[in-house]
């Protein structure tokens, strides 16, 4: 039986077109955590799963909100997602990567990772790995704006940047970095870019440091999203 519980919010992610089910399940699990924290009815849908967003929109209250589980306010958020709303009056919030609380979360995360390795932040080279885009500047701009905000919050040096789809490419940015380096993936999910493209680029550069999990998978992200929904 289909769930027809009215929704206050929907988390929307890109998903995986070749295999939609795992990404749908992962996003639904995240929505369940956010629902408890926000004390609101929260659904989930990926753009890649046929009919998933449309089904969720049928349950979304007119005053409901859409939370893009994306790192940038680029093509998929500004064009694809808006076109798929079908006239629903839902308000689309800024994506995860544009949340002003994300650099705060990341600074604490990096401090923990440095402490676990016995490294002082001042000794660490930080490389932000991000998607970038050949379609426009917004993906890279989101990563760079995040990095600028992060640099003001942690005691290490300003981060470098490496992208999957535009220059400076990740392999080039990672080449020659010292042993005490951290690569922080500015990605929402542990998808193909994180599992394949990022490790391959780092390996080709003989990157000697540590690759951290995708920032969007940090344990404090559900609380960050919940605050955005109720704020």
Cut 0.75: pTM above it: yes
* Backbone CA torsion sign across 15, 21, 22, 27: positive
Q: Is 85 left (phi over 0), alpha (psi -120 to 50) or beta?
A: alpha
- SS3 (DSSP) at 121: helix
Same domain, 225 and 200: no
Q: Is the peptide bond before 99 cis (omega within 30 degrees of 0)?
A: no
Tell me the per-residue pLDDT of 154-172, one tens digit each, with 9 for 90 and over.
999 999 999 999 999 999 9
| CATH classification at residue 19 | 3.40.50.1400
**Token match 């999910």: residue?**
189
Query: Is position 1 within any domain?
Result: no
Question: At a CB cut-off of 8 Å and minimum separation 6, what does 206 contact?
Answer: 175
pLDDT at 209: 98
- Are 84 and 128 in the same domain? no
The band of 5, judged by pLDDT with boundaries at 50, 70 and 90, is confident
Instruction: Confirm whether 224 is domain-assigned.
Output: yes
Same structural domain for residues 71 and 164?
no
What are 78's two structure tokens? 């500004």
Residue 82, pLDDT score: 93
Q: What is the number of structural domains in the chain?
A: 2
Q: What residue ranges in the chain does DSSP mark as E strands?
A: 7-13, 42-46, 60-68, 91-92, 125-130, 160-163, 181-185, 210-211
Q: Which domain holds residue 76?
A: 7-95+219-230
What is the Cα–Cα distance from 46 to 29, expressed in whole angstroms? 13
């Amino acid at each position: 039986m289909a769930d027809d519980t009215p929704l206050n919010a929907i988390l929307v992610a890109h998903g995986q077109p070749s295999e939609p089910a795992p990404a749908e399940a992962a996003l639904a699990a995240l929505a369940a955590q956010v629902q408890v924290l926000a004390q609101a009815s929260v659904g989930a849908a990926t753009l890649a799963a046929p009919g998933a967003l449309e089904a969720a929109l049928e349950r979304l209250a007119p005053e409901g909100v859409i939370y893009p589980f994306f790192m940038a306010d680029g093509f998929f958020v500004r064009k694809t997602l808006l076109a798929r709303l079908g006239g629903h009056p839902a308000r689309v919030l800024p994506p995860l990567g544009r949340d002003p609380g994300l650099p705060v979360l990341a600074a604490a995360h990096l401090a923990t990772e440095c402490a676990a390795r016995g490294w002082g932040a001042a000794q660490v080279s930080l490389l932000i790995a991000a998607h970038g885009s050949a379609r426009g500047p917004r993906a890279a701009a989101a990563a760079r704006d995040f990095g600028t905000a992060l640099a003001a919050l942690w005691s290490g040096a300003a981060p470098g940047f490496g992208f999957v789809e535009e220059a400076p490419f990740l392999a080039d940015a990672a080449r020659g970095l010292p042993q005490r380096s951290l690569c922080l993936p500015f990605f929402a999910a542990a998808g193909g870019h994180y599992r394949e493209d990022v490790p391959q680029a780092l390996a080709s550069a003989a990157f000697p440091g540590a690759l951290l999990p995708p920032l969007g998978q940090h344990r404090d992200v559900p609380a960050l999203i919940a605050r955005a929904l109720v704020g």
